[in-house]
Structure 1
Amino acid sequence: MTAHASSDGLARPPVPTQVRRARWAVSLIFFLNGASFCAIMPRYPELVESIGLSNTAFGLAIGLGPIGGLLSGLFAARLMGGFGSARIAVAAQMIASTSHLLVYTAGSWLWLALSLALAAAADAITDIAMNAHGMRVERRYRRSIMNSYHGWWSLGAVTGGLFGAAAAQLGLPLWFQGLIGLVLFGALAAGSFRFLLTGHDSTERSAAAPPAPAGAGPSAGSAGEVPADVAPSGLRIAGMSLRALGLVSALGMVLVFAGSTEDAGNTWGALFMTDTFGAAPFLAGMAFVAMQGAQTIGRFTGDAVVDRLGDRATARLGALVGMAGMSLALLMPSPVLALIGFAAAGWGVATLFPAAFRAADELPGVPHGVGITVVGWFARLGFFVTPPVVGALADALTLRHALWMVPIYALGILLFSAVLSTRQHREAP
């Protein structure tokens, strides 16, 4: 095994085989997390029709679903502290794959809402745990790889979306599609566990902080970090100072608007194509695929872009692209421009989840796992609030008019992106 050159031309220590395998295992969990649920979304028009739901009722069911995620996400840090991020990520993903079968077989509004709540509860814990474990592996790599994880999530989402769209076009029964997902996705998640990192989740954090020389005072990190045991006293919430809580909350607001943008394609993309253009089932599913496909490209190339521009400039550039693309699609509606608009929105928010999770996990004075948990909780808040709003607007006006919320989300990203770093990701020494 040989050393590789880093972005600054210096030799980088080789990455051990165990760590490389752990990276692929984490990537697989991200892929499965995206594929398992996103395979459902192209079938939403069938569920709406079979149950007989209005846009408002459907949006309310989708919006109530994340309540499960909001509640379960509060316990993610405690679960990881007791069982480790590896066990929790795998177990929660297997539970999520099981609960998705209930969504496919929903026969009433209440059944749909409750099954979505259970799926969201499992997904929230998976999301937090797999990001936490991904940060462990990134610290072993000593360079940015978080965007690639989320790229695998988006690739899974595209794969699941294509599978769901093809199944809809072929008339595959909903229950049968759900059964395939349960067996396939659940088995792959279980198989990934043996390749994840062992040891306590704080292992890499401890190794990254060299001990101070004898007699020296506490040293500050590159961001002025103050060790938790010598942090100033004062009012603390969940182990965080009010300033740290404010920063984490601002990072969470970035994800509120990023998640709301994703929801526009996830929940409403197929319905928009069907209602506005009378699109066939496969073409209707392409709205979701266009958004996730562009997001996949943005995430796999995102580490290089962020290293050059920094998280803040990348976020603002993406918000402007998403705003312009979706505005054009809504001003001049056609199937082609609609797909371009959804793609622009997906590319625009591609790097925001990795950026916010990394920043929250590395904030000074924030206990391990708590930053990611809080930021992830805010993201679920966006998924909870916006679907009922868009659904009500769609019934009062049209879905085309309701989707003008997407450019408004971009304005929110521009506002709160100020909390993201302006610096490129630096390799650990």
Structure 2
Amino acid sequence: MNAHSAPAGAPADVRLPPEVRRARWAVSLVFLLNGASFCAILPRYPELVEALGLSKTAFGLAVGIGPIGGLLAGLFAARLMRRFGSARVAVLTQIFASSAHLLVYTSGSWWWLAGSLVLAQAADAITDIAMNAHGMRVERRYRRSIMNSYHGWWSLGAVAGGLIGAACAQLGVPLWIQGITGLVVFGALAAAALRFLLPGHDATERTPVAGPSAASAAEVPGSVPSGFRIAGMSLRALSLVIALGMVLVFAGSTEDAGSTWGALFMVSTFDSTPFVAGMAFVALQGAQTIGRFTGDAVVDRLGDRTTARLGALIAAAGMSLALLVPTPLTAVIGFAAAGWGVATLFPAAYRAADDLPGVPHGVGITVVGWFARLGFFLTPPLVGALADALTLRYALWMMPLYFLGILIFSGVLSTRSKQPGATVP
């Protein structure tokens, strides 16, 4: 029996040593900081757009270029984790991200804004993959699902950051002061979390597979020959990882609709005050926070697949109401429905990718995270162009299409609950 694992069927958390509990809180802190640091910027986007004199197309293009940094940097996440460990990588890149966020606050031109977002997204992509990988280590020690709670802390941080940004916008706090304060506070807390994360190799908690591994097992009738492999994965495993990635393309696009366009939608459609404008994003992240903190129990009962499909239907209904009957109240309700609807998708996809048989350690979670960045890259320029051609209200009808994509690709998610570390059927 693995020395770090409780006996099968043992009561949850009964025999967990203190360092494992501390590690869970440290990982949760990194998730919270990751959400708060960037999301504090979002309510200030209307000020940046006005100060730089940008059209919605130009602004959407700048925001869309940012994830290019994430798409490129994310490819190196697995290599960095193998060399330095997920704990160090997650913390150091989070500190770098907070530094890049200061550059976003002080943007003086379109090129400056776009370049700052590229650097910020590059650091964030690696942080995202590394903190999820370390979270999976802790989850395996707990021997029960806790991934949704991590993402709940991210959403809580995003809500806190959104409220901070909205309050600073309302009070007229200079952007550069907010940026410097964020760098000092968020950077110091991230550095403090490092000493409480788990030591050792990232594969420590994985249960060894008896006999030939999935990667080298003998051929079985109807299987794909082992010679057909990409990045150490069979074509079947690669197709499953891509399908999981597509779930996050649409989930990420939904989150982007709230983060990039929520405040601008409230201002352009209802002429809202800066604080009220920030409530669209806060509503999305607030509902997502509730969905994530309650998500482990829901998923244990319904399974990831059914939870994802029900969430997509609720999100589609809420946003359709907001766009058909546009008022500040229906807009907040619609964004909240969208946030709740996609709440469990990131944890579900990361867990499934990390547990796929025949996928090298760190590769599945890296590829799925890379696909999530693809959604952040593609949708802002598209929505921005549609907003300039039609109005932002009509451009946001893209969101029901995102929910349709979730319904289509959610079939790859698990239909039942399972112990962490179990393989996906």
Say yes or no: TM over 0.5.
yes
Would the aligned equivalents of 1:306 and 1:425 in 2 still touch at CA under 8 Å? Answer: no
Aligned pairs for 1:129-208 within 5 A: 129-205=130-206, 208=207
What SS class does the counterpart of residue 205 from structure 2 fall into? helix
1:11 equivalent in alignment to 2:11: yes
Would the aligned equivalents of 2:30 and 2:131 in 1 still touch at CA under 8 Å? Answer: yes
Which of residues 322, 339, 344 in structure 2 aligns to 1:346?
339
Which of residues 257, 261, 281 in structure 2 aligns to 1:264?
257
The residue aligned with 1:125 is 126
Amino acid at match of 1:39: A
Would the aligned equivalents of 2:215 and 2:233 in 1 still touch at CA under 8 Å? Answer: no
1:234 CA drift (Å): 1.4
CA distance in 2, matches of 1:349, 1:255: 9
1:9 CA drift (Å): 8.3
CA distance in 2, matches of 1:10, 1:86: 28
1:427 CA drift (Å): 5.9
1:320 equivalent in alignment to 2:319: no
TM-score by length of 1: 0.93
The residue aligned with 1:92 is 93
TM-score by length of 2: 0.94
The residue aligned with 2:243 is 250
The residue aligned with 1:222 is none
CA distance in 1, matches of 2:34, 2:155: 9
CA distance in 1, matches of 2:105, 2:11: 51
The residue aligned with 1:76 is 77
What SS class does the counterpart of residue 53 from structure 1 fall into? coil
1:428 CA drift (Å): 6.9
1:228 equivalent in alignment to 2:229: no
Amino acid at match of 1:332: V
Amino acid at match of 1:136: R
Would the aligned equivalents of 1:73 and 1:376 in 2 still touch at CA under 8 Å? Answer: yes
CA distance in 2, matches of 1:11, 1:127: 30
1:355 equivalent in alignment to 2:356: no
| Alignment coverage as a number of residue pairs | 409
Amino acid at match of 2:159: V
Would the aligned equivalents of 2:91 and 2:127 in 1 still touch at CA under 8 Å? Answer: yes
Would the aligned equivalents of 1:143 and 1:428 in 2 still touch at CA under 8 Å? Answer: no
CA distance in 1, matches of 2:215, 2:371: 24
1:419 CA drift (Å): 0.4
Would the aligned equivalents of 2:140 and 2:420 in 1 still touch at CA under 8 Å? Answer: no
Q: Which runs of 5+ in 2 are unaligned?
A: 1-5, 220-225
CA distance in 2, matches of 1:189, 1:424: 32
The residue aligned with 1:58 is 59
Amino acid at match of 2:197: L
Amino acid at match of 1:156: G
Amino acid at match of 1:230: A
Instruction: Return closer, same or farther for 1:427/1:69 CA change in 2, 3 Å cut-off.
Output: closer
1:290 CA drift (Å): 0.3
Amino acid at match of 2:135: G
1:258 CA drift (Å): 0.1
CA distance in 2, matches of 1:411, 1:380: 19
Instruction: Return closer, same or farther for 1:47/1:334 CA change in 2, 3 Å cut-off.
Output: same
1:10 CA drift (Å): 5.7
Amino acid at match of 1:424: S
The residue aligned with 2:208 is 209
What SS class does the counterpart of residue 230 from structure 1 fall into? coil
Would the aligned equivalents of 1:34 and 1:155 in 2 still touch at CA under 8 Å? Answer: yes
Q: Which runs of 5+ in 1 are unaligned?
A: 1-5, 219-225
1:14 CA drift (Å): 1.8
CA distance in 1, matches of 2:270, 2:309: 32
CA distance in 2, matches of 1:323, 1:174: 35
1:193 CA drift (Å): 0.3
1:319 CA drift (Å): 0.2
Would the aligned equivalents of 2:240 and 2:412 in 1 still touch at CA under 8 Å? Answer: yes
